[in-house]
Amino acid sequence: MNRKLFFLAVFLLGIVGVTAQTKEELQTQKAEKQAEADKYKKEAENLQKQINALPGWRVGAFGTIGGSLSNFSNWYSQGKPNNSSGNIGFTLNGHANLIQEKFFWRNSLTTNLNWVKLDDKDNPADDTSFNPTTDVFNISSLYGRKITKNLAASGLLEYRTTLLDNFNDPGYLDLGVGATWTPFENLIIVMHPLNYNFVFSSGDTVFESSLGAKIVADYTKEIGAINLKSNLSMFQSYKSSNYSNWTWTNSFGYTLWKMIGVGFDFGLRNNKQEALNYAINTLGDTNATFDNVNNDLQTYYTIGLSYKF
């Protein structure tokens, strides 16, 4: 009996030894393969940097889609117990940049559109359609002639408006010249002391065009599965600070599977002309002026699924 137990113990120890040896061998092989993969990954990244440095077009786009639908029947704890509601929105950030040895031509598009509906089934007279809420549209085109590696004489065209509601009312068109500084590949800083801000509107409004300075800072970066874009556009009117404005938009996308991921967008804006126009023409405050208008910070955000084009 003791002899049987002895042989059984030896057999089990042998199995454990073989298993441990096999595990150590597999871990060693894994470490070797990982080191080899890291080597090739670094080489691929260096090759991509060389490709990015070559003259030619750089084209890309990514966006965010968010939405929800709901339906309530006899839900008495809320004010409208029978209703259906929905929310849908999307953003798109695209660029097409031509980079050459002596000049560049950078083009970008940013848009954020959102619709909301609330159908009160107990009120046949209510609006059951999807109505626009967030409505942002911005395109820009920047041409630069290089003076040094990181500095260029440049001209900018930028147009901002809404698409779904009150198209080009107001609409803003900036045309200006000055300099563009590119401290590194993904950051563009535009400084145009000579810029005219055309403002388009219909009827008798408070909007007015003026001459001023334009500053734009744009950062676009792709880091593995992460896409980032941040754009700050500022206009400082020489005529009056009441005609100055700025808009800051930000987009973040993280790819989870293939081209699909999660996205987050938010924007801030300050525009006193829009605040005064809203007070007079929407709220009906005929006593509102630039001196007493409540110029609150304008904001928006969108969270949802993202898609990398």
In a shared domain, residues 44 and 98: no
Same domain, yes or no: 148 and 20: no
Residues 89 and 209 in one domain: yes
Q: State whether 72 and 47 are in the same domain.
A: no
Verify that 187 and 200 share a domain, yes or no: yes
**Nearest alpha carbon to residue 152 among 97, 100, 104, 220:** 104
Q: Do 38 and 169 belong together in one domain?
A: no
Nearest 5 degrees, angle CA 6-CA 10-CA 11? Answer: 115
Q: Are residues 2 and 88 in the same domain?
A: no
Into how many domains does the chain fold? 2
Residues 41 and 164 in one domain: no
Domain that holds residue 44: 1-54
* Per-residue tokens: 155: 């001209």
| Burial (CB count within 10 angstroms: exposed 0-12, middle 13-18, buried 19+), residue 15 | exposed
Tell whether 15 and 162 lie within a shared domain: no
Whole-Å CA distances, 8 to 13, 15, 17, 18, 37: 9, 11, 14, 15, 43
Cis peptide before 124 (omega within 30 of 0): no
59-73 confidence digits (pLDDT tens): 888 888 877 778 888
* Six-digit token string for 281: 């023409």
* 18 shares a domain with 157: no
Average confidence (pLDDT) over 155-180: 93
Query: What is the per-residue pLDDT across 88-138, written as a single tens digit (0 to 9) for each?
Result: 888 888 999 999 999 999 999 999 888 888 888 888 888 888 888 888 899
Of 156, 153, 154, the closest CA to residue 176 belongs to 156
